[in-house]
Each structure stands twice: as structure tokens, then as C-alpha cells.
Copies of this chain bind each other. A is one copy, B any other.
Amino acid sequence: MVTISDVARCAGVSPVTVSRVVNRSGYVSEKTRQKVEKAIKELGYIPSAMARGLRLNRTYTFALILPDITNPFWTTVARGVEDAAQQREYSILLYNVDEDMHKQERALETVLSQQVDGVLIAPHDGLVSHLQPLRMRSVPTVIVDRRLNEVVPDWPVDIVRGDSISGAKALTTHLISLGHRKIAMVSGDERTTTAQDRVMGYRIALQEAGISCDENLIVYGEFRVSAGVEMTNHLMERGINFSAIFAGNNAIGMGVVRELIRRGIRIPEEIALVFYDDYANASEYFPFFTVVTQNAYQIGRTAAELLISRATGEHSEPREFILPSRLVTRYSCGSMLDDHHQSLLSLPIVNPKDLKEVVWEVPLLLPYPA
């Protein structure tokens, strides 16, 4: 390996001078600079980020801890994070933790040993205790698309997320406005704050519509396609009566679709369906369900930028960004469509030319009482 000393020897100067040239710090005469640069090129010298990091206590690396890099929502978040990081010369260490607390703990431990400059994490639950390692060592942290269940006055975490409560309320209200009264909520893991918020939004919508909430209609599982299949199956097997399904996230929604299709149940004629978050634009190709979409790319980008700003000391007080969501309905959107489009409801697939795409900016309903 070519080190700074090799370059120094080759250029006939001291290592410090090479360092100064590389980092553009301190005074270096034009002549020596050129000598040094020539030597660097000749030897193909590349500074060791590790040695530099050890010395400076800065690695220009962030950790990105996600539940599932296979889910289009999270990959788009990751893409936003990566773009912002790359632009500012930061690298990203990726950890996939599967909504598994054990894996999350291991990832956190590893991350601490790596001395990253910051952590972007979608924590499995809202307990601060599970992020304790980050807090103790005051690692700059941004929480992505989720939130904490507690207020932590002495730990300045930033949060970038959508407003799941208002999004879920919008979806539920949409279904109610179409005449649905029995709406099944097929949710993800109850411990995640997004699952909590989406169920909360669902309850609020029902309450405001004067519909009593049947607890049998609320099912918790995992944020995965297979869980969507299983939960749908479970509901059908138990013979529970409902005319619409609210899928707690995009993967669950795809599972619901799969199971309903398998059973030969037509969407939305027999059972209507709404998703939280689209699934790689599935709603565009398969426009028989309605989605609330968050701008995942922007969430990722904003989170990374915020982390850079915190890591470089540009801000220190905690910040929370709540990005807007949109309700997108392309079909079965009776309450929003005119008669002509209503009549399309009986068709299983519609030529998009005949479709009116309705996009509705979901108003933020914050703050909510605890």
C-alpha cells in the first residue's frame, strides 16, 4: 500500500507537506506542490480514510438502518439518502434489519464500533430505550418515516416522516364516502409507530363518521407480502364480514391483492381496497385500488441532508419534518368521479385514457392529543 510517507520520500519532502497538499491546508509553495502532486500521481497514492478517520474522529460515513431493502418504499428512501450523501461525499453503510429487534440491536452495536458520523434509522418501535446506544454516545441520529413514543428533552434527534394519522384518516374517509361501513384494517407490527398511527387515523375517521369500531376488523401482522396474504386469509376464514380492506402498508396491500385474486374475489366490486404507500407504481398499472403515497425519495433526501447539517454542527436543536402525503385514486373512486367514471366500476381493467386520476393533497391534522 502506498502511504503518505512513500509519497513524501518520492517527492523529497516530509509527510506533513504531502498532507498539506492533499488537504489544501497550510502554506505550500507552488513548486513543492507540483513535485508532490507528481509523486502522488506516479505512485497512485490514495489517502487512507481509516487512518484519517482515526486521527480526525470523522469518517464521512452514515449508517442507514432499514426494515426491508426489498420494499420499494424503503429502496426509494435509500435512493434519496444515497443521492444526498453522494453529493456531499458521504458514504452509506446499509443495514437490513427485518423489523427484528435483535438484528436492530446488532446493527446498532456494529455501527457504534464503526464510528459513523451519523445514523439514519427507521426504528422498529418507538421506545427510546432501544436507541439508547446512540443516545449514550450522542451519535447524530435521524429517524426516518417513524417517530418516538416518548419525548426526550436531553437527546436532540431529528425526525423526517409523513403524517400517518391524517393519511390513514383520509383513506378511511374515502372508503366511508363510498358507502363502506365494515372496513378491515390489515396492519403491520403493532409496535411500529406507523402501524399505531395508521390504526389511529382509521379510528378517528370511523369516529367522525359516527361508525363504531369493530375490534375484530383490526388485525396486526408484519409489513410483508406474505403477512398480507395470511391476514386476509385469516379474516376470510373467520367469516368476518367486511366490504373493504385497509392495507397497513404497500407490501401488505400486495399480499391482500394476491389472496383476494386467489380466492377469485373481485376488487373493488366485491371488496374494495386501499393501501398506505404505493408499491412501485402498482396502482398505476393495476388501478383498482386507492393509495396514500408519501414522497419516499424526499423523505430520504431530507433525512440525509438533515443529518449532514447536524453532523457538521449546522444545527443542534432537534427538528421534525412532516412531509405531505397524497391520496391517489384512479378507479373505484366513486365519490370523487362523475357518472361516466362511476360506470367504469364494473370493468375489471380500464384504459387509463378513460380514467380520471384524482390526486389529493392530504391536509396535516397535527397536532393530535397524545
Measured CB to CB, the residues of A under 8 A from B are 1, 44, 46-51, 53-54, 57, 59, 61, 64, 69-70, 72, 75-76, 78-79, 82-83, 86, 89, 91-96, 103, 106, 109-110, 112-115, 136-137, 254, 257-258, 261-262, 264, 279-282, 284-286, 348-349, 351-353
Q: In this complex, what residue of B is CB-closest to A66?
A: B82
B82 and A96 contacting across the interface, CB-CB below 8 Å: yes
B53 and A82 contacting across the interface, CB-CB below 8 Å: no
What is the distance, in angstroms, from A283's C-beta to the closest C-beta of chain B?
12
Oligomeric state, in copies: 2
Q: Which of these, B49, B78, B280, contacts A72 with CB under 8 Å?
A: B280
B91 and A93 contacting across the interface, CB-CB below 8 Å: yes
Of the candidates A46, A136, A264, the one having the most CB atoms from chain B within 10 angstroms of its own CB is A46
**For the complex, what is the distance from the CA of A53 to the CA of B257, rounded to whole Å?**
48
30 example contacts (A-B, Cβ-Cβ < 8 A) are as follows A1-B57, A1-B137, A46-B112, A46-B113, A49-B113, A49-B115, A50-B50, A50-B59, A50-B115, A51-B54, A69-B82, A70-B79, A72-B72, A75-B75, A79-B96, A82-B94, A86-B96, A86-B106, A91-B93, A91-B95, A91-B114, A92-B93, A93-B93, A254-B281, A254-B285, A258-B285, A262-B353, A280-B280, A285-B286, A286-B286
List, in ascending order, chain B residues with CB within 8 A of A51's CB.
54
A258 and B284 contacting across the interface, CB-CB below 8 Å: yes
**For the complex, what is the distance from the CA of A114 to the CA of B47, rounded to whole Å?**
9
List, in ascending order, chain B residues with CB within 8 A of A64's CB.
94
List, in ascending order, chain B residues with CB within 8 A of A109's CB.
46
List, in ascending order, chain B residues with CB within 8 A of A47's CB.
113
List, in ascending order, chain B residues with CB within 8 A of A72's CB.
70, 72, 280
List, in ascending order, chain B residues with CB within 8 A of A89's CB.
110
A257 and B280 contacting across the interface, CB-CB below 8 Å: no
Q: Which of these, B49, B69, B70, B254, contacts A114 with CB under 8 Å?
A: B49
